[in-house]
Amino acid sequence: MISLPSKDFLETPIEEFVISSEKVAHVQIGNSAEHALLVLTKTGYSAIPVLDAKYRFHGLINAQRITDAILGMDHIEYEKLGDIRVEEIMQTDLPLIHLNDRFQRALDLVIDQNFLCVVDDDGMFMGILTRRIVLKQLKKQLYQFKR
């Protein structure tokens, strides 16, 4: 039997579900697009955060943005990869989530985002919350009274 998630569950702070920052692959402001492409390819992740030396969050970088930046008129200009900085091409217009935000907000946001970047009040990067984790938690709630 499926049960509807309780209001209490939807109001759980997301903190306990977050993958903490030290476990998250990232690149730093000042790194080249070439370095970012290496990290993305080696890890197999679709996108990774761009942080500064103090671990403040600045944006996200993905392979599509990198390829787009080196697309010439009739060929891909690979030689440019080393000259492009990640901050020139990263995505910055994305919703962020705070450690004390509720599960309900995460659920709303992961409809359009594969994962969410989690920050504290000072913009420090705390980790990520993936759609996979949100769905797993929701599934646990839905089936908890299954007989």
Minimum distance, C-beta of residue 45 to ligand AMP, in the bound complex (Å): 3
Residue number with CB closer to ligand AMP (80 or 138): 138
The answer to whether 113 contacts ligand AMP (rule: CB under 6 A) is no
Pairing between β-strand 47-51 and β-strand 19-20 as defined by DSSP bridges: unpaired
User: What does the alpha-carbon distance between residue 140 and residue 137 come to, in Å, rounded to a whole number?
Assistant: 5
The answer to whether 114 contacts ligand AMP (rule: CB under 6 A) is yes
Minimum distance, C-beta of residue 20 to ligand AMP, in the bound complex (Å): 10
Half-sphere CA count of 5, side-chain side, radius 13 A: 17
120-139 residues in contact with ligand AMP (CB under 6 A) are 128, 130, 132
Q: Which of 14, 33, 36, 48 binds ligand AMP (CB under 6 A)?
A: 48
19-38 residues in contact with ligand AMP (CB under 6 A) are 19, 23-25
The answer to whether 144 contacts ligand AMP (rule: CB under 6 A) is no
Residue number with CB closer to ligand AMP (6 or 41): 41
- Please report the DSSP string for the chain in residue order: ---PPPHHHHTSBGGGGPEEGGGS--EETT-BHHHHHHHHHHH--SEEEEE-TT-BEEEEEEHHHHHHHTB-SSSB-GGGTTT-BHHHH-B----EEETT-BHHHHHHHTTT-SEEEEE-TT-BEEEEEEHHHHHHHHHHHHTTT--
Interface segment toward ligand AMP; rule CB under 6 A; list 7-15, 16-24, 97-105, 136-144: 16-24
The answer to whether 46 contacts ligand AMP (rule: CB under 6 A) is yes
Which residue type does 53 have? Answer: A
Residues that bind ligand AMP (CB under 6 A): 19, 23-25, 45-48, 114-115, 128, 130, 132
